[in-house]
Amino acid sequence: MKKETLETKCLKQADGTIVYYFQNKMHNWDGPAYIPQGDKRRAEYYLFGVKQTKGQWLEAKKDVNGVPFHKTAAGKQAGVRA
């Protein structure tokens, strides 16, 4: 049984096209997942195979980071100072 690593992979083609994928679906949290012929103006954003607009992608990325531990109720109870 083949074990798959849980990381985004980058595929660069001869024409300059760059594709980022995760578990055989186009995906990239760090930027556009599809950059045709290296042209960032035509880049497309994908999360887990679902095409997103840049605004949708930015909103989803913002939601993933969450609140730092020192700003949560548990962090304040532990006496953590920021």
pTM attached to this predicted model: 0.69
User: What are the residue ranges spanned by the domains of the chain?
Assistant: 9-70
The residue type at 56? Q
Whole-number Å distance between alpha carbons of 69 and 79: 12
pLDDT at 63: 73
Comparing 82 with 6, which gets the higher pLDDT? 6
Angle at alpha carbon of residue 27, lines to 62 and 17, rounded to 5°? 120
Helix residue spans in the chain (DSSP H): 54-65, 73-77
* pLDDT tens digits, one per residue of 23-72: 999 999 899 999 999 899 999 999 999 999 999 999 888 876 556 666 66
Whole-number Å distance between alpha carbons of 70 and 82: 7
